[in-house]
A and B are shown apart, each in its own frame.
Chain A
Amino acid sequence: MAEGDAAVDPLLRWTLASFHAATLLVAPLALLYAVGALGSLLQGVHTVTGFGLYLALWGLTWWTNGRWLAATRLDGLRETAVPAATWGAVTGVGFLFVLLVTVAASLPEPVTVAVFALVGAPVSAFVGAVVGAGFALVDLAVVAAGERLGTA
């Protein structure tokens, strides 16, 4: 366990990581189904591969949430959102890496994979940072509301 992780509440880490990973799956799923693009996308993904990708996202989110929670006291927007954006970017790039490994296993063309990596890294870092900061704002509101509701 990395230094700082020991101070993180394991229930909060598990809750937020699972909340983020499940939301990152369910929200795009609903959107893709609504626009009629889900069937063709799922056709190309084997069940076991899909499970592996989700477990990778869940594990990655658990790890980065631990690092984020170790870097914040959850008591201010900027203090919470800046490390969340940083670790969100790490999550984005990490998940891109997992995707590239998966693609490389079925598409043995190193040049194509390298191009995906070069173009995808900054894009996934940016998207991860935005999503991470967005989740931080939601988490901040959820934790503050929980503290108000939890005390009689």
Chain B
Amino acid sequence: MQLDHLPLNQIALIRAIDWESLPDQEGHRLRALGFETGVTIEVLHKGILMWRDPLAVRVGRMTVALRTKVAAAIDCELSA
């Protein structure tokens, strides 16, 4: 499941990140912020009004805001 489709407050694991589809700078920043295969992730909040974009996501013990467009490049699976 792509991160932008992950329901709120569901803990998941990053299965794969499609680095190719991301612009260099964003891929680089994403890596620096700790996004990587195998890391625990959880969508905490979604953006305002009808847009529900960007997302506030927990990665490890850190919260990161990112746009759904970037989130779509992150594939995750719900952890049991």
Asked if A pairs with B, the answer is no
